[in-house]
Each structure stands twice: as C-alpha cells, then as structure tokens.
C-alpha cells in the first residue's frame, strides 16, 4: 500500500505523506485503521526511520493521523477530509514519475496515451 519512488526527486517524507493521503482518499485506509510503526514502515520501504517519523508528524499536524496510547498511529481523517484537488495533485505527481520512466524507456507521451487507451477496452 505504501511505496517510495527512488527516482522521484521529491523528499522521502513528502512521498510518504502523499501515499498515505492517497490511500485514505482511495478508501484503502479508513478512520481508526492502524498504520505500521515508524520502524516497521522504515524497514518495509528501506528508508530512514527519521523520514517516516517526520512524515507521520506532518500527517498529525494536518490532522490526518493521530497517535493513540496503546494502539499506535491511526487514521483520523475520513476520505471526505482529503479533497479532490489534493488527490489530483497527488495523481499529477504519480503521473510525472510514470512519464519520466516511460521516457527513459524511449516512449513518447503519445505512445503512453495510445497504450493506456487500448487498456481501457480490455
């Protein structure tokens, strides 16, 4: 559910914030769902624990997550709290990374659009 793109110039903690917010917006995480511990997520993503801690702190500041004694870090916000504009901004960031990788493989934007359009009809 959580991912980091090592080729993306965006700082790791910002990518974690983006991916958590996207998971909430998509309904993959809901109010009360527990997130991995800082250490566990750092191990899973192969990043420093400080980056995860900074991301969790930012999400708490944004009132998306909260720390519950004896439980851990849980989702506070419902998908309604993540507005459509924010989700579209996150989608744009994902598209940018995807298009960079496609270009590195020699595909043009038109190639990508044609391929994606052909998948719609499957």
Q: Alpha-carbon distance 45 to 95, whole Å?
A: 20
- Report the percent of the chain where pLDDT is more than 90: 50
Beta bridge partners of 75: 65
Q: Label residue 96 by pLDDT band (50, 70, 90).
A: confident
**In this model, does residue 30 exceed pLDDT 80?**
yes
Contact predicate 59/17, CB 8 Å: yes
**In this model, does residue 79 exceed pLDDT 60?**
no
Contact predicate 47/4, CB 8 Å: yes
- For residues 87, 88, 91 and 97, what is the CA-based torsion angle, rounded to 10 degrees? -130
**In this model, does residue 86 exceed pLDDT 80?**
no
pTM summary value: 0.68
Contact predicate 20/35, CB 8 Å: yes
């Amino acid at each position: 559910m959580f991912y980091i793109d090592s080729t993306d110039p965006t700082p790791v903690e910002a990518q974690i914030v983006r991916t958590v917010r996207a998971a909430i917006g998509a309904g993959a995480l809901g109010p009360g769902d527990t997130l991995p511990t800082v250490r566990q997520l750092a191990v899973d993503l192969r990043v420093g624990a400080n980056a995860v801690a900074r991301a969790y702190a930012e999400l708490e500041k944004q009132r998306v997550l909260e720390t519950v004694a004896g439980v851990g870090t849980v989702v506070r916000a419902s998908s309604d709290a993540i507005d459509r504009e924010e989700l579209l901004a996150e989608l744009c960031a994902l598209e940018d990374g995807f298009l960079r990788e496609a270009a590195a493989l020699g595909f043009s934007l038109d190639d990508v659009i044609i391929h994606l359009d052909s998948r719609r009809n499957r």
